[in-house]
Amino acid sequence: MMDDDPDLADEVTRAAHAAMLRQDWDVLRLLLHPYLHWTTAEGTRVRGRTKAIERLQNAARPGEPYAVELRDGQIYRWQERPNKW
């Protein structure tokens, strides 16, 4: 079920971004949907919560997202702000 509540989306997004910055992978895991679709600033697509967390553990922390979609109260899509050429 998709979540259309913008306040919930903002709250979950802020909590997830804060967890990334703190490198709190346990909290982040709870906020990300198992079938997460992550799009990097370069346009690379990462599928799945585990792969996205692995990428985050080995990359610079992302800025706030360009777009987010929730499903069942968890982040289902995260799109980083595209890099400017």
CATH number of 24's domain: 3.10.450.50
Structural domain containing residue 64? 2-80
| 74: in domain | yes
Of the candidates 2, 32, 30, 35, the one whose C-alpha atom is nearest the C-alpha of residue 62 is 32
pLDDT of res. 61 = 80
pLDDT of res. 66 = 93
| 31: in domain | yes
**CA 70 to centroid of chain Cα atoms:** 10
pLDDT of res. 77 = 97
What is the distance between the alpha carbons of residues 40 and 80, in angstroms, rounded to a whole number?
5
- Sorting pLDDT into bands at 50, 70 and 90, what band is 83? confident
What is the distance between the alpha carbons of residues 66 and 39, in angstroms, rounded to a whole number?
10
| 28: in domain | yes
| Digit-coded pLDDT (tens) for 28-69 | 999 999 999 999 998 999 999 999 999 999 988 888 899 999
Domain count, the chain: 1
| 64: in domain | yes
pLDDT of res. 85 = 55
| 85: in domain | no
| 17: in domain | yes
Average pLDDT, the chain: 92
Whether 36 and 50 have beta carbons less than 8 Å apart is answered as no
What is the distance between the alpha carbons of residues 9 and 65, in angstroms, rounded to a whole number?
12
